[in-house]
Structure 1
C-alpha cells in the first residue's frame, strides 16, 4: 500500500494551547524567551522554528520571544544575546528546541551561553530543560498520525515506528527506547524505535520488522520537530519499506508550543546559579 499523507485542518483553541495561559495584566516583565534551534541548510527548518515562535507570541503576548540558531541559519544564538545585552535586557531563558538531552544540550548550548555571560556579566541566562520526554509530545505524535489518516479505532491493528533523528549519546537513545516501550501500553498493537543516524535500527528496518511480526498496518511517526535532511531520510525509509502511513514532523503543533512554555515557566522561576547559567534537566 502506498504511503499517504493527509493534512486535516487543525482546530483552534485546543486544550493544550489554553493550558499555556496568557500573561496576567499588570504582571512584572518576564525574562526574554530565546528559542535555541540547531539550524539547517534546509529552509523548511528555519520556517518551522519561526512559525513556532509566532505561536508562542500569540499565546504569551507579555513575553518577548526571540529565535537563535547554533549553525547554518541566522541570527546566531551569540548575536541574539549580544543584541539583547546592548538593548538593556537582563534576564533570558534559553530554551533548547531539542527532544532529548544529548551533545547539543549538554555541551554546545551551555558553551555558547557561558561565553555570552562572560561578554555581558549583567546578563542573567537560565538554560531551560529540553522538551522531552513529555506526555504532550505523545499527544502531538498521535495528532500527526490522525492527521495522516489514522483514527483511534485503528490503534489495535496498527504498528508504529517511532523514528527519531538519532544520537551517539546513550542517554538520548535510552529515552527514545523508553518512549517506544510506553507507547506499547497506549493501545497501539506494536511500537518500534528507529533512528535516522548514529544508531540502529533505521526506519526501513523497523518497518520490515513489524511486517515480519505479522502487523497488517504500519505507520511511521517522526519524533522530530522540524523538516530537514534527517527527517527526509526517515520519510525515504518509510517509503522504501512500504509503510502504510507517514505522519508529518511535530512542527509548531499546539502541544509543542504548550510544552515549550511549560519549560520556560519552570526555568524562569528557578534561581540563577553563580555562573549565570542554569543547565536544564528533563
Structure 2
C-alpha cells in the first residue's frame, strides 16, 4: 500500500516565539493522532522554514496543503495560493479550519480551563461571551465569525455571544463587554478566537483585563479539537489526490 500524502501545514508566522512553539505543539499532537503520517510545517512570514524550502524538501512527493487559518480572508484567498504558485507546489489545498463545531468545542475547553462553569445550563444562561477575533477587512470573513457566534449562543444556551475584533473595524472588547452588561448579564467571559499567542491575542487579553471581564480564556493553541480538525481538512482535500493515484 502506498504511503499517504504528506500533510503540508501552512502557518502565517510571527516574530513572537510563542507562535512557532504553539504550531510545533499542534504538530506533535497531530503526529500522535496519526503515527506514520509525514507532517511538514511551512511559514509565510517571520519564521522558518518558508514554503519554497519545504516544497523543495518534499521533492515532488504527494502532499496536501492545510492552511492553519480560522477564516477564509486575505491570507487564504491570496497569500497562500500565491506562495504555492511561486514555490511550484502542485498540491491540493484544504479548506480553512473555520467555521466548524470542533472549534466551538475547543473554545469551550479553553473557557472551562479558565474557570467558567460549563456544566450548568443556568450558569450559561447568565453568562455573556465575547468571541474575540483578529478582525478582517473582508466583510465575508467577518460575517462568518458573526454567524459562528450566533450558532454558539443558539446551540449552547449562552445568555449572549457577541463578536469583538482586535484589529480592522468593528467593536473592540471593552465595547462588547459593555453591551453584554447592558443586557443585564451577570457574568462575562472573553474567548479569543485565535490559534496562537502574539500581538493580537495580547491586545485582547489586556483589553479584557482592563474592562473587568470575569473570565479570560487562553487562545485555542494545540487543543485536541484543533488537531482533529486539521486531520479532517487534510482527509477532505486528499480524497481527490488518492482518486487520481488509484
Per the shorter chain, which TM-score range?
Answer: over 0.9
Corresponding residue to 1:130 among 91, 96, 101:
96
Q: SS at the partner of 2:191?
A: strand
Could you tell me how far 1:184 is from its partner in structure 2?
1.7
Say what the alpha-carbon RMSD is for the aligned residues. 1.2
Q: 1:49-72 deviations in whole A, cap 9, x for unaligned?
A: 000011111111121001111001
Please show how residues 113-262 of structure 1 align to structure 2 within 5 Å.
113-117=84-88, 124-152=90-118, 153=120, 154-185=123-154, 186-262=156-232
Distance in 1 (CA, whole Å) between partners of 2:96 and 2:72 is 6
Structure with higher helix content: 2
2:72 alignment counterpart: 101
Could you tell me how far 1:199 is from its partner in structure 2?
2.0
Distance in 2 (CA, whole Å) between partners of 1:199 and 1:163 is 13
Could you tell me how far 1:180 is from its partner in structure 2?
1.1
Could you tell me how far 1:90 is from its partner in structure 2?
2.0
Is 1:77 matched up with 2:51? yes
8 Å CA contact retained: 2:51, 2:87: no
8 Å CA contact retained: 2:84, 2:90: no
Tell me whether 206-215 or 101-110 shows the greater mean CA deviation: 206-215
Number of equivalences: 238
Q: 1:222-257 deviations in whole A, cap 9, x for unaligned?
A: 000100000111111101110000001000111000
4+ aligned runs moved over 6 Å, structure 1: none
8 Å CA contact retained: 1:184, 1:190: yes
Distance in 2 (CA, whole Å) between partners of 1:116 and 1:78 is 5
Distance in 2 (CA, whole Å) between partners of 1:34 and 1:221 is 28
Q: Which has the higher contact order (CA 8 A, sep 6+)?
A: 1
2:36 alignment counterpart: 62
Gaps of 5+ in 2: none
1:52 alignment counterpart: 26
Please show how residues 22-37 of structure 1 align to structure 2 within 5 Å.
27-37=1-11
Could you tell me how far 1:271 is from its partner in structure 2?
4.4
Q: 1:94-130 deviations in whole A, cap 9, x for unaligned?
A: 110000000000000001111222xxxxx54111110
Distance in 1 (CA, whole Å) between partners of 2:227 and 2:241 is 24
1:280 alignment counterpart: none
Distance in 1 (CA, whole Å) between partners of 2:241 and 2:34 is 22
1:7 alignment counterpart: none
